[in-house]
Amino acid sequence: MENKNPIEWNYLNEGTHEEDRTEEFDRIVIKEMIELLKQVEDNLMN
């Protein structure tokens, strides 16, 4: 079965469902996602 969710969604969804994986989030990816969300928010507010 093909994974239709992008890796970013999998990061955001991590911990919502019980999974066998116990790996940590990639801090660099999470930091980039937060920065992008801040940019989106700034653009929406202006």
What is the pLDDT at residue 41?
A: 95
Give the helix/strand (H/E) hosting 37: helix 27-45
What is the pLDDT at residue 19?
A: 59
Query: Quick check: helix, strand or coil at residue 20?
Result: coil
What is the pLDDT at residue 33?
A: 86
Local mean pLDDT, 10-residue blocks, the chain (46 residues): 65 63 73 92 94
What does pTM read for this prediction? 0.52
What is the pLDDT at residue 1?
A: 46
